[in-house]
Chains A and B, each alone.
Chain A
């Protein structure tokens, strides 16, 4: 104890400097969303070099399991592809009709990436991916798991890394659609459970039940990206809309490989939206 006190006495100026500097940088970082995302991207890029090495080891250990999962997924995709090819052949043989699903899928491309750093225990969590601008990743692209479960949205990119704001961030909001219906809702995380998000403004006619699935409703992602399953629902005081608790589909605390989704028409869509807004 005495030695510890002596040691602290010797370095207390440095400790005080680090404390003051830390507080000042924190104040600056949280002052505006720009500084927050920029500083987050920079510190994450530095931290990811360290945690990247740890993740490499962890990934190496879990390689057999991941290979099995990937093989399973490839098999499923092959089956899906064959089914679609068959359906396409049948339809084109019968008429000049071109299936909508073909054009829908073709407008998205998927960039595989690996999670090198992430947090799940804060209110403003983030995920760092090992792919950046050089790999074609851009701000606002959606991020999903290989099983098509929603993870988050890219908020900042450097050359080699990108930062994702996940569902588990109280500042994050996204639209959702009840599967099998046209009812949409708004989804956010209230910062309590790491396994649940809340969907609000779901029409009273939707009649949500436990086990029903809500997918992402966004022009940046394909239609079949799952957000989660309904655990419970509650109608609001005016009896006009439901508030729903969703169990998050993606295993947010065990993310390794993800897919960053690029909508090839996004620039056109953004330009049209900005024309409308202006």
Chain B
């Protein structure tokens, strides 16, 4: 079962944490945790792609307006909506079967869910930092930023994913 109302609350909290806490942290240029993609990553997988696309656009626009991204957040978040099912299948070999009564995310173990979220965060961070830099003049710096920021995002995201498995998707 997927509790939509609880999910909305979680999404709002994630975005507020990103805007008012994580984005204000100035640890290092190459360490910028971003957890707002979780709103799209953990969205109910059974929903039609069009809804995931609209949600990702909404979240992207909110982040762009709040953080002054000028379209960067939307441009890098929208592709995630299109890649969710393929990434889930590639990472966990699970897909949505017709006639399934429970949410596919609720049938994943915490490790599988973490693996899927890590892969999606890595894709997002790669798109985001590459588009932000728009240059391959310093490839090692770019790679370090992607890897370190993805790891930091996964660390920050792991308690959220645990809460998600306990409170929002129940088996």
Interface residues of A (CB under 8 A from B): 12-13, 16-17, 20-21, 23-29, 31-32, 34-35, 38-39, 42
Looking at the assembled complex, report how far the CB atom of A75 sits from the nearest CB atom of chain B, in whole angstroms. Answer: 44
Among candidates A17, A25, A34, A42, residue contacting B71 with C-beta atoms closer than 8 Å: A25
Q: Are A38 and B135 in contact (CB under 8 A)?
A: yes
A-B CB proximity, top 5 nearest: A27-B71, A31-B70, A24-B75, A28-B71, A38-B134
Q: What B residues does A16 contact at CB under 8 A?
A: 50, 53
- Which of B49, B53, B60, B81 touches A24 (beta carbons < 8 Å)? B60
Partner of B134, one of A20, A21, A26, A42: A42
Considering only residues 10-46 of chain B, those with a C-beta below 8 Å from chain A are: none
Q: For chains A and B in complex, what number of residue pairs have CB atoms within 8 angstroms? A: 49
State which of B50, B64, B75 has its C-beta within 8 Å of the C-beta of A21.
B75
Residues of A contacting B78 in the complex (Cβ-Cβ under 8 angstroms): 17, 20-21, 24
> 24 A-B contacts, Cβ less than 8 Å apart?
A12-B50, A13-B49, A13-B50, A13-B53, A16-B50, A17-B81, A20-B57, A20-B78, A24-B60, A24-B71, A24-B75, A25-B75, A27-B64, A27-B70, A27-B71, A27-B74, A28-B70, A28-B131, A31-B70, A31-B71, A34-B134, A35-B70, A38-B135, A39-B134
Among A23, A27, A32, A39, chain B packs the most CB atoms within 10 A around the CB of: A27
Can you add 15 more A-B contacts, CB < 8 Å, to A20-B57, A21-B75, A38-B135? A13-B49, A16-B50, A20-B78, A21-B79, A24-B71, A24-B74, A24-B75, A24-B78, A27-B71, A28-B71, A28-B72, A28-B131, A32-B70, A34-B134, A38-B134
Query: Which residue of chain B is the closest to A29 with respect to CB atoms?
Result: B71
B interface residue numbers (CB < 8 A to A): 49-50, 53, 57, 60, 64, 69-72, 74-75, 78-79, 81-82, 131, 134-135
The smallest beta-carbon distance between A12 and chain B, in angstroms, is: 8
B155 to chain A, nearest CB (A): 28
Cα A12 to Cα B134 with chains together (Å): 30
CA distance A39 to B131 in the complex (A): 9
Closest Cβ–Cβ distance, residue A22 to chain B (whole Å): 9
Q: Give the chain B neighbours of A21 by CB distance below 8 A.
A: 75, 78-79
A99 to chain B, nearest CB (A): 43
B100 smallest CB distance to A (angstroms): 21
Chain A's nearest CB lies how many Å from the CB of B16? 22
- Residues in A whose Cβ lies below 8 Å from that of B131: 28
Contacts A35-B134, A39-B134, A42-B134 hold; do A23 and B71 have CB atoms under 8 A apart? Answer: yes
A167 to chain B, nearest CB (A): 26
Question: CA A100 – CA B145 in complex, angstroms?
Answer: 54
Indicate which residue in B64, B70, B74, B135 contacts A20 across the interface (CB closer than 8 Å): B74
Chain A residues positioned under 8 Å from B79 (CB to CB): 17, 21
Nearest chain-B residue to A35 (Cβ)?
B134
CB-CB under 8 A from A32, the residues of chain B are: 70
Q: Is the CB of B75 within 8 A of A17?
A: no
Residues of chain A within 8 A (CB-CB) of B81 are 17
Give the complex CA separation of A190 and B81 in angstroms.
Answer: 42
Q: Please, which residue of chain A has its CB at the minimum distance from the CB of B69? A: A28
For the complex formed, measure the closest distance between the CB of A13 and the CB atoms of chain B, giving whole angstroms.
5
In the complex, A42 Cα to B81 Cα: how many Å?
25
- Measured CB to CB, the closest approach of chain A to B31, in angstroms, equals 23
B75: nearest chain-A partner, CB-CB: A24
Pick the most buried of A16, A32, A34: most chain B CB atoms within 10 A of its CB.
Answer: A16
Q: Give the docked Cα–Cα distance between A39 and B75 (Å).
A: 13
- Which B-chain residue is minimally distant from A16 (CB atoms)? B53
- Chain B residue contacts of A13, Cβ below 8 A: 49-50, 53
